[in-house]
A and B are shown apart, each in its own frame.
Chain A
Amino acid sequence: MFVHGFGCGQDMWRHVAPEFERDHRVVLFDLPGSGEADASTYDTIRHGRLEGYRDDIIALLDELDLHAVVLVGHSVSAMIAVLVQIARPDLVERLVLVTPSARYLNDVDYVGGFGEADIDELLDLMSRNHLGWQDPLAALVAGSDSSAVKDELERVFCRTRPEIAAEFAAVTFRGDNRADLPHVSAPTLVLQSREDSVAPLTAGLYVKEAVPDCAFEILETRGHCPQLSVPHETAAAIRRYLDVSVNSRTA
């Protein structure tokens, strides 16, 4: 199961997920409020905490009657995946955390990479740029052909209703899951980007040190989304880890 992070929807995995389809059952979905998720599934209060998303994923896994999955979470969803594993160890056999960060804000003796003012600036930027959200909406208001508007809406990638995006950003970047990490009981792989201004090396190393059984691999790329910048290397790293841990288990 691949879980996308803050920003865009399940399309973020479109270069990586297919590489697992031949020998795995692959589950992709949009978190409430993101991608193509039905607007009614988002609840300001429920999703004001990562636990709300955690419970959604647990419900999804239960509904699909899946157990012992490999749960791959990117960015903030790495922490959501951690929460799922801790709450329901039976559901998750292994965790793959892609560019994780347990806390984005700097703290005493901890470098998350961000200050409060940076998060405020991000929220301001998001309110200034609706990236294709307002345009089709404006066309809708202007009473233009609704099917054309619908096509446009479907075409626009990475569109999130602005107020939901702002709430998701606040939940993501103001969260602190450092205390959860020692409770992870599944073997875990951290995939770290060589240079990542959102989840810096210090953040990835912190996760590696805090999670009991944790492998760590650096992907030679720059940026927060290695599944886009180096999809084959990302898929290969996940596959290597799955092979190794399967072998060590059978040995």
Chain B
Amino acid sequence: MVDEVEDKKPLWRDAFDTSFLIFAALALVGGVVCYSLLGVDAVKASLRDDSELVLFLIPKLGAAVLIARFIQVLLPADFFGRYMGEEQGLKGMAIATAAGAVTPGGPMTSFPLVTMLRDTGTGVSALVAYVTSWTTMGLQRVFMWEVPLMGAEFAAVRFLASMPLPIIAGLVARLLPAEASRPTDEGK
């Protein structure tokens, strides 16, 4: 699996990494500004809301990470990737859309797959459709963040509204001149 590497680091270092520190610093600055502008009551109200939200989230987060991981085991992204290079046109974009939706994790796991697909001859419209699908319809993001925080109805509406987007982006990409033919190896 693609994200095997990131699982090798010790847990504590992974949990309290740079993005944790950045957010901790932001939270601290936010708290201080809030205190000095609005007073201690605003800080207390904010902390009360925050703890409610976190307590509401924890039981859902447990189920969400399980769902995301099980989907990944059942439908590995490379499964679709195998067919992406072979299919042209709308069918290729449709497969790319399915592959993008089931690709787990952040950009460090999806972009290596995009690079590999390009090197094996996948056209630019399918690549654009794949990246668009992964960012707008990524199921891991939907289950880990959107459903717990915004509710299933919001997530379902957004997911449905996003369904045409990868194909539209892929079709527009095909009209653009820059990378009409097989891409070069630049930027690698």
Q: Do A and B come from one complex?
A: no
| Chain B residues engaging chain A, CB cutoff 8 angstroms | none
